[in-house]
Structure 1
Amino acid sequence: MTITPAQRWDAKIAGYRATCKKMLELSPSIRYAGVINGLGRTLAGVVRPGVKPLLSPEQVKDEFFIMSTLITLRKGPSAAVGALDYVVLRHKKATIVACQRGDATYYISINAKQKNIMKIISGIRRLA
């Protein structure tokens, strides 16, 4: 039986969603785990149940576009300095971790009060 491109795409999206769910299991401090493409479009995403989003839907679109642009622009210098492993953005209310893997970028939001962030980042890198 031949697998259609649509079936392959659906399987890829299901895989991203499963990975996002596993990322939420790494720590109760993880608020959101998602995957965006090079244009900043959400491919998959999971918000921890009971967590109120910090950003409006319009702000989320802007944030994902900015992150995808940052990741895309980093591809040029990576030939000189090596491939990008992950990016950490520390804010007052949340810490954002982004990991690029292939054409997808994993975007994870973590409570800012979390102390041992490197342990969570190690888990994210392992799963991404």
Structure 2
Amino acid sequence: MNLWWITDAIAPAGRSLLAFLGLGVAMGLPAVAQPLPSEATSQPPGVYYSWRDLATEPAECLARSQQALNAVDIGDIQQVDNSIAGRTEDSTVVFVCIPNQANPAITTVMVIIAGQDDQASLDLRSDLQAAF
């Protein structure tokens, strides 16, 4: 079953995407999400994320995440521990594969998109979900 639970959020101005989501260093994410410019120069990006559980191990989740990023032409791809991230000209994308401590055969995958164009970010999220 290809079911994604979807939750949308907007990051407050002046905070990084990862700090807003409370993931940061604790999740071992790469430093591709950079602090946002000040309010005086731009609006904060929309931050959209969704997640689902998979009957797979984290390594397979990361491989599928890499394939999804490649399928939609995401560049500057970096992988650190349980996450893989990249960017387009307008957006930053992060996949996080979180192993289930109670059941190692289950992994939760979260995809996070941050971008200035809300509709483009939502469309990119849909494309990544389909490619995953």
TM-score under structure 1 length normalisation: 0.32
Quick check: which has more Rg, 1 or 2? 1
- The structure where helix makes up a greater share of residues is 1
